[in-house]
């Protein structure tokens, strides 16, 4: 079952800030989060059901640090269309 702790952050990039003007928020979560799980978390903690949810699975990049190879964490990225007047207050800039 999905939980609020599975939400890592809201992404603030040039593209995501442009989408926020149209009522779309980009949320980074753990890889185990599902669309229905995210809808449930948003309904339970923020009091609204999103109009539409699109998801992307993102693989972590392989990086080198002082000759030692490591890998960043995998994550999921969700594009969430918010209903009119809805906000995610505790996660805003």
pLDDT at 91: 53
Domain range for residue 39? 4-83
CA–CA distance from 40 to each of 45, 54, 82 (Å)? 9, 15, 14
Give the containing element (helix H, strand E) for 27: strand 24-29
The CATH number of whichever domain residue 12 belongs to comes to: 3.30.70.330
Within a domain: 43:
yes
Within a domain: 48:
yes
pTM > 0.95: yes or no: no
- CA pair distance 21, 41, nearest whole angstrom: 23
Of the candidates 3, 79, 73, the residue with the CA atom closest to the CA atom of residue 31 = 73
Per residue of the chain (93 residues), what is the pLDDT tens digit? 778 888 998 999 999 999 988 889 999 999 999 999 999 999 998 888 999 999 999 999 999 999 999 999 999 999 999 988 777 765 554
Sort residue 85 into left (φ over 0), alpha (ψ -120 to 50) or beta: left
């Amino acid at each position: 079952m999905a939980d609020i702790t599975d939400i890592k952050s809201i992404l603030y990039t040039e593209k995501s800030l442009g989408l926020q003007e149209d009522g779309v928020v980009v949320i980074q979560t753990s890889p185990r989060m599902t669309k229905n799980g995210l809808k449930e978390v948003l309904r339970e903690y923020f009091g609204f059901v999103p109009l539409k949810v699109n998801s992307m699975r993102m693989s972590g990049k392989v990086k080198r640090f002082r000759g030692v190879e490591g890998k960043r964490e995998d994550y999921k990225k969700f594009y969430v269309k918010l209903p009119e007047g809805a906000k995610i207050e505790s996660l805003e800039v």
